[in-house]
């Protein structure tokens, strides 16, 4: 997929050779040797503790999407040392991730564990799964999800804590002041030109509150 490059980015790196002139190859073999082709005990323990993951996909033209996934610890199920299963909870029904997987199965994942600064990264191939036996492996409050994302793991490796430390991710005293950041209801009102409900922030907030309180773990589509 080609498009006009913005003027601001006309001067850019255009080759791997030029990139490596600025960013040399890593000196430590650990950078590559740490990559696992299977989920070992360390990977499994992190996935079992993770409550938040980001799932990156792209369509057959290379248009990318990164979608959050969250749940109680262990919401992503390790089926074996090469296979993961991620339930689909209720969401906005855009189904960006699911549509992308049908067109292009390549996926990238990272798993966050609250309070743990290092991140587990997983790359592989993803599939939209509707097999009843598999869905029965990941009930949500006793209910089988409608569909799930199955991931066949090709790479799994740890990403160091530098980004989390730089961003004070788990350090509340250094979190940013949220003054001046609008509520989700206000943002939705502005982004949709008031076309949600009666257009008021109070009505939109009511919809959000109802969704968060009653449909948080409802099986469905993200």
Neighbours of 77 (CB within 10 A): 17
What is the rounded distance in angstroms from the CA atom of residue 222 to the CA atom of residue 216? 11
**Structure confidence at residue 211 (pLDDT):** 84
pLDDT along the chain (222 residues), means of 10: 81 93 82 90 98 96 94 94 92 86 97 97 97 88 88 97 96 95 94 85 89 75 52
Q: Could you tell me the strand order of the sheet in which 106-113 lies?
A: 64-70, 52-58, 106-113, 116-129, 148-159, 83-87, 77-80
Out of 2.30.110.10, 3.40.50.10540, 2.70.98.10, 3.90.1150.10, which CATH number does the structure's domain 15-166 have? 2.30.110.10
**Structure confidence at residue 25 (pLDDT):** 86
**Structure confidence at residue 195 (pLDDT):** 82
* Prediction pTM value: 0.89
Angstrom CA distances, 124 to 82, 110, 112, 161, stand at 9, 12, 18, 23
Alpha-carbon dihedral sign for residues 161, 165, 169, 170 = positive
Query: What stretch(es) of the chain map to CATH 2.30.110.10?
Result: 15-166
**Structure confidence at residue 207 (pLDDT):** 86
């Amino acid at each position: 997929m080609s498009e006009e490059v913005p003027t601001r980015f006309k001067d850019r790196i255009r080759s791997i050779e030029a990139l490596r002139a600025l960013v040399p190859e890593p000196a430590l073999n650990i950078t590559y040797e740490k990559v696992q082709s299977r989920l070992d005990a360390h990977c499994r323990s992190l996935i079992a503790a993770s409550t938040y993951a980001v799932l990156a996909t792209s369509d057959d033209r290379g248009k990318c999407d990164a979608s959050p996934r969250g749940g109680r610890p262990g919401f992503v199920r390790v089926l074996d040392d090469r296979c993961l299963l991620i339930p689909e909870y209720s969401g906005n029904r855009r189904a960006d991730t699911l549509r992308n997987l049908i067109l292009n199965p390549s996926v990238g994942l990272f798993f966050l564990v609250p309070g743990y600064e290092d991140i587990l990264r997983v790359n592989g191939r993803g599939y939209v799964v509707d097999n009843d036996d598999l869905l029965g492996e990941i009930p949500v409050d006793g209910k089988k999800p409608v569909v799930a994302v199955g991931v066949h793991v090709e790479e799994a490796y740890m990403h160091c804590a530098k980004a989390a430390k730089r961003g004070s991710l788990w350090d509340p005293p250094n979190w940013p002041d949220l003054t001046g950041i609008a509520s989700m209801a206000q943002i939705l009102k502005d982004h949709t030109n008031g076309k949600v409900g009666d257009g008021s922030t109070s009505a939109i907030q009511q919809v959000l509150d109802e969704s968060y309180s009653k449909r948080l773990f409802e099986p469905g589509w993200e």
